[in-house]
Amino acid sequence: MPPSVTVIGDALLDVHVVPATSIRPGEDMPAAVRLRPGGQGANLAVRLARRGVPVTLTCSLADDVAGRVLRSALESEGVALHPIQADATGVVVVLLDDRGERTMLSQRVPFAAEAAERVPADGWLLLSGYLLLEPAGESLARAAAARDGRRVLVGCAVADESVAAWQAAATAFAPDLVVMNATEMERLAIAGEHGTAVTDAGGATATVAAVTAEVRSAPGPEAVDTTGAGDAFAAALVAGLLDAGWPPAQPALRDALERAVELAGAVARAPGAQARVALEEPTP
């Protein structure tokens, strides 16, 4: 069995909306609407579990309809839950355009303060960058930095007015590896020594210690829904590095990067942040 992983991040109910035509403000328009499990923390945990990694998710859940849906979905995937009780479960409306690009309207439930008291003593830890946007984000980061084991930070969207506070919390976390897309890395690059894995439209580049690997995406169909593709990349990369030693040798880093790029591309061509793709089907 690979080493166990703890993920700290949101479990959210995603409401996907695909308008039939261009949006016209003030009108009642036809659209395809689907409810699906999501949230960066849950996305990471599910993708890890599907790759055979024992994973525990610390998240915020309420005893409401959305919470019961998410709890059932996560448990069916083999994710062990360490939930923090909330008054309401978070919801995100994902509005997709005809190119597969998304606009996200998020109702998150803060829980960084409670999560800081539940940081595991050791093992691999994946922290969703969204937790660092909370008032208690830096406290959580410092609690996690005091533990043993590898620390991985997964990037997120950060408003301009929150960049400085986010960077301070991210630096306090002292990650061994930061996983972001190129736009996030340009805006959110943090101080200190850490490995990086950066995705772009054509593939990804990873650098850990003095080792660098670059992988370009194979040609394929266009993306239909990029929601969760970056989370799939991060999960596959971490899964590929669990048994590689640290820092990983170049062949191990490149192999993990290739699998991560492949999975992210497949996920972007499927609807839904946690859509199961062929790469995740068990080998006969």
In the predicted model, is pLDDT for residue 238 greater than 80? yes
Mind listing the pLDDT tens digit for each residue in 162-181? 999 999 999 999 999 999 99
CB 234 within 8 A of CB 264: no
Contact predicate 44/9, CB 8 Å: yes
Query: Are 174 and 145 a contacting pair, CB within 8 Å?
Result: yes
Q: Which residues pair with 85 in a beta bridge?
A: 61
For the chain, domains (ranges, CATH) are 5-12+38-89+110-271 (3.40.1190.20)
Those residues whose C-beta lies under 8 Å from the C-beta of residue 284, and which sit 6 or more positions away, are none
pLDDT at 164: 95
pLDDT confidence bin for 99, thresholds 50/70/90: low
Which one is predicted more confidently, 81 or 103?
A: 81
Asked if the model's pLDDT at residue 283 lies above 60, the reply is no
pLDDT band (50, 70, 90) for residue 243: very high
User: Could you tell me the two tokens for 7?
Assistant: 């993920």
Q: Does residue 18 carry a pLDDT above 90? A: no
Residue 257, Cα to own-chain centre: how many angstroms?
16
Whole-number pLDDT of residue 271: 83
| pLDDT interval class at 37 (50, 70, 90) | very high
Q: Which residues pair with 153 in a beta bridge?
A: 127, 178
What's the rounded Cα separation, in Å, for the pair 255 and 43? 22
Q: How far apart are alpha carbons 43 and 82 in whole angstroms?
A: 15
Whole-structure pTM value = 0.92
Q: What percent of the chain has pLDDT over 90?
A: 75
What is the average per-residue pLDDT within 63-91? 96
What does the pLDDT read at residue 218?
84
Please report the pLDDT score of residue 282 as a whole number.
Answer: 61
**Phi-psi domain of 54 (left: phi exceeds 0; alpha: psi -120 through 50; beta: other):** beta
How many beta carbons lie within 10 A of that of residue 4, not counting itself?
17
Dihedral angle computed from the Cα positions of residues 226, 56, 208 and 276, in that order, rounded to the nearest 10 degrees: -30
pLDDT at 70: 97
Q: How far is Cα of residue 263 from the mean position of the Cα atoms in its chain?
A: 13
111-130 pLDDT per residue, tens? 999 999 999 988 999 999 99
Helix (H) or strand (E) holding 153: strand 151-154
Q: What is the pLDDT of residue 229?
A: 94
